[in-house]
């Protein structure tokens, strides 16, 4: 029996056809290693990891090939042993069709691991444990791929009331979490126990949609064992109603606890944190086995003959695992993720990455072309279906008119892009596409603004530095001038002192004779260019000499007035 837990409703949601039966008939299989693995360095939210290997280098399975860069980043590892044949730009699994830096590995067939050992997180500080998980490359495997080490922080209170494990998996066709819970429930809860200890959480609620009875049963058995081992009743499996998008983190926390995390707030401020069940499994492997994240469970479904779940090495070309399932002849597209939130791939050669919970093969029969877009009639159906309590039609108007500031005022960035609004829209408007366009434009403008701010700050700093250097030079010149004047005054005072010894008299006589000779030579010297001058030129020279004499007099502040 599932735990008796009061459930709450979230606003909106839809009930599409789930199409999960085809891929749940067989257990998880291990996909064979491909002849080439293309591992993108950027596989999580945040900064791109820096490459740590070069072409020609041999790597071992689990060896770090990309180091985390920045506060929000996560490391990347070699999925098997082999030789790095290139570190170059390759096509990314994204609708844009853009390329990114990848490490291409040619496997040697040995599948040789790096030395592995468990990490004693109880003896380590929380920061050391989080750094270890960052370097192990553990990210959220529910699709968001947010670095997990950043979420393993209990927040200001130092503890949590509830740790939520997300086993809802609400999107159609996707069953990787369902099969994982059926087959590896005990390991998932071992990972949850580690997270619970790190977060000092009081209880662990495992939310699973009620259309997964086998997964619920398996997790209940594991939960009873975990509770018996801990001698408490901390782990609870809760069956939640099947309604898309119940698997959204905020929606699931709302259903299980009744707490609605407001916009701009962290769930830890309300004593909650949510992780996908696959993430809990990966954390256990990293902490207890010393294995970084190099593979994941992937559902291959859609227009294929044998839909199934595979454990796939990261970097495996999608076409290789599609071939295992027998794609049908009329297949015309590949989608990473489900039909509601998935991304259309540029082609089937792109690699499996940490975000690839499903590889969905499509066809015109399975996903007919949408009818032509009609004008918005402001019926409000999209607002009724929105699980985030937004007003999609208002965001649509402002996004379409490129009035992005107003779109933000309607909380555009609270949209989780679940697609419920577009699903119920009678005008068949691809609303989510408009929101994604608006978000990308806002991000681009923010990036440009940040770049302009940085350039302006650098320019102002340069002006400040130049002004400071100018003032320093003036101060040094003034100090040097003052020192020279002081030195001249001392020398003059010494010269005016009466001689007290015959040696000093002789020295003064020599100096006086030298000055007299210099004066005589100067008087005898007659520049050749001053002969045959006109009266006007002579007058001009006389005026110049007069000004020189005047300047010399002004340059003698050290002389006494009576001189």
Contacts of 148 (CB under 8 A, 6+ apart): 133, 138, 139, 140, 275, 279, 282, 283
Confidence band for 557, pLDDT divided at 50, 70 and 90: low
Q: What is the pLDDT of residue 558?
A: 55
The full set of domains in the chain, from first to last, is: 21-32+118-325 (3.40.50.11540), 373-473 (no CATH)
For residue 489, what are its two tokens? 């005054």
Which residue in the block uniquely carries the two structure tokens 């297949």? 331
Provide the percentage of residues in the chain whose pLDDT is more than 70. 96
d(CA 396, CA 417): 13
CB 420 within 8 A of CB 247: no
Query: DSSP strand E in 71-111: where?
Result: 76-77, 82-91, 99-107
Beta pairing, strands 76-77 & 50-51: unpaired
pLDDT digits (tens, 9 = 90+) for 215-227: 999 999 999 999 9
Feature table: binding site for [4Fe-4S] cluster:
376, 379, 382, 386, 415, 418, 421, 425
| pLDDT tens-place string over residues 115-163 | 999 999 999 999 999 999 999 999 999 888 999 999 998 888 889 999 9
Question: What pLDDT, in 10s, does the model give residues 262-274?
Answer: 877 889 999 999 9
Sheet containing 37-40: give its strands across: 37-40, 99-107, 82-91, 58-59
Cα–Cα distance for residue pair 248/237, rounded to 1 Å: 17
Dist CA 375 CA 353 (whole Å) = 38
Counting Cβ atoms within 10 Å, is residue 167 exposed (0-12), middle (13-18) or buried (19+)?
A: buried
d(CA 360, CA 510): 106
Q: Are 239 and 197 in contact (CB under 8 A)?
A: no
Quick: pLDDT tens for 33-59: 999 999 999 998 888 999 999 999 999
pTM of the complete model beyond 0.85? no
Helix (H, G, I), strand (E, B) or coil at 437: helix
Q: How far apart are CA 4 and CA 18, in angstroms?
A: 26
| Distance in angstroms (rounded) separating the CA atoms of residues 254 and 388 | 11
Going by the annotation, the residues of the binding site are: 376, 379, 382, 386, 415, 418, 421, 425
Q: What's the pLDDT band for 500 if we cut at 50, 70, 90?
A: low
For strands 272-276 and 160-167, give the pairing: parallel
Arithmetic mean of pLDDT, 445-468: 91
pLDDT in tens, 52-65: 999 999 999 999 99
């Amino acid at each position: 029996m599932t735990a008796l837990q009061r459930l709450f409703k979230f606003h909106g949601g839809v009930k599409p056809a789930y199409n999960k039966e085809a891929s749940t008939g067989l257990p998880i299989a291990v996909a064979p290693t491909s002849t080439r693995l293309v591992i993108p360095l950027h596989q999580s939210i945040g900064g791109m990891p820096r490459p740590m290997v070069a072409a020609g280098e041999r790597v071992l399975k689990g060896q770090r090939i990309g180091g985390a860069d920045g506060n929000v980043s996560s490391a990347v590892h070699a999925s098997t042993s082999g030789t790095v044949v290139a570190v170059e730009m390759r096509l990314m699994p994204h609708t844009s069709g853009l390329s990114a830096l990848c490490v291409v590995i040619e496997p040697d067939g040995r599948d040789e691991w790096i030395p592995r050992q468990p990490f004693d997180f109880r003896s380590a500080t929380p920061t050391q444990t989080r750094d270890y998980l960052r370097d192990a490359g553990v990210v959220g495997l529910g699709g968001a791929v947010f670095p997990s080490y950043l979420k393993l922080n209990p927040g200001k209170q130092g503890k949590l009331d509830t740790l939520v494990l997300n086993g809802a998996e609400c999107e159609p066709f996707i069953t990787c979490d369902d099969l994982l819970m059926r087959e590896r429930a005990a390991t998932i809860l071992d990972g949850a126990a580690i997270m619970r200890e790190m977060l000092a959480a009081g209880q662990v609620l495992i939310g699973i949609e009620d259309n997964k009875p086998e997964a619920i049963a398996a997790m209940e058995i594991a939960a009873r064992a975990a509770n018996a081992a801990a001698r408490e009743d901390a782990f609870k499996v809760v069956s939640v109603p099947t309604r898309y998008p119940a698997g959204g983190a905020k929606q699931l926390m709302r259903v299980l606890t009744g707490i609605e995390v407001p916009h701009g707030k962290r769930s830890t401020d309300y004593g909650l944190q949510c992780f996908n069940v696959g993430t809990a499994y990966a954390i256990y492997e990293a902490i207890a086995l010393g294995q970084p994240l190099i593979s994941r469970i992937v559902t291959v479904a859609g227009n294929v003959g044998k839909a199934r779940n595979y454990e796939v090495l990261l970097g495996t070309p999608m076409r290789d695992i599609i071939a295992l399932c027998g794609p049908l002849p009329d297949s015309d597209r590949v989608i990473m993720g489900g039909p509601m939130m998935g991304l259309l791939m540029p082609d089937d050669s792109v690699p499996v990455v940490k975000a690839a919970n499903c590889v969905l093969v499509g066809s015109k029969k399975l996903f007919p072309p949408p009818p032509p877009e009609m004008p918005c009639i402001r019926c409000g159906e999209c607002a009724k279906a929105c699980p985030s309590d937004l007003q999609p039609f208002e965001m649509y108007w402002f996004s379409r008119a490129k009035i992005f500031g107003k779109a933000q005022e309607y909380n555009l960035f609270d949209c989780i892009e679940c697609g419920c609004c577009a699903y119920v829209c009678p005008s068949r408007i691809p609303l989510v596409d408009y929101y994604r366009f608006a978000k990308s434009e806002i991000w681009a403008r923010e990036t440009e603004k940040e770049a302009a701010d940085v350039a302006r700050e650098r320019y102002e700093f340069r002006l400040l530095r130049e002004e400071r250097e100018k003032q320093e030079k003036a101060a040094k010149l003034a100090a040097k001038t003052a020192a020279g004047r002081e030195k001249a005054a001392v020398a003059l005072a010494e010269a005016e002192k009466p001689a007290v010894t015959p040696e000093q008299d002789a020295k003064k006589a020599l100096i006086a004779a030298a000055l007299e000779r210099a004066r005589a030579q100067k008087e005898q010297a007659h520049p050749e260019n001053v002969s045959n001058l006109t009266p006007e030129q002579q007058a001009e020279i006389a005026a110049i000499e007069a000004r020189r004499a005047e300047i010399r007099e002004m340059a003698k502040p050290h002389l006494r007035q009576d001189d």
